[in-house]
Amino acid sequence: SCAGGPRQPWHDLHCKIDGPAAYDIMTNFEQRWRKAVKWRDFKIRKVRHWHDDALLKLDRISWILSPSSSPDGDRVVHVTNEEDPENWHVQVGD
């Protein structure tokens, strides 16, 4: 609204990054997160495993490795067919 000021300057975008660049981005994000987060807000007294690549420990997130490819599977994690035009979402702003 006009009373609330101008529209915020960010946009919702996404992309897929693979390989060493993806690891570099993850490392950068983790470093910034650790520096910015105030652990006392999470009621965590001692942070453990700082040097542990928790995001890469696949046994800790095994549920995310095999999502259901059919709607009859797990409704929390579901993969859609990218070949289906009904799954494409495009927004064009002014």
pTM, entire model: 0.35
Q: What is the pLDDT of residues 26-79, one digit of tens each?
A: 888 878 877 776 666 666 555 555 555 555 565 655 555 555 455 565 555 556
Q: How big is the chain by its Cα radius of gyration, in Å? A: 19
How many Å apart are CA 19 and CA 86, to the nearest integer?
29
Residues 6+ positions from 68 with CB-CB distance below 8 Å: 74, 77, 78, 79
User: Does residue 81 or residue 62 have the better pLDDT?
Assistant: 81
User: Does residue 17 or residue 73 have the better pLDDT?
Assistant: 17
Task: Please give the pLDDT value at position 21.
Answer: 82
Task: Please give the pLDDT value at position 17.
Answer: 80
Please state the domain extents for the chain.
20-83
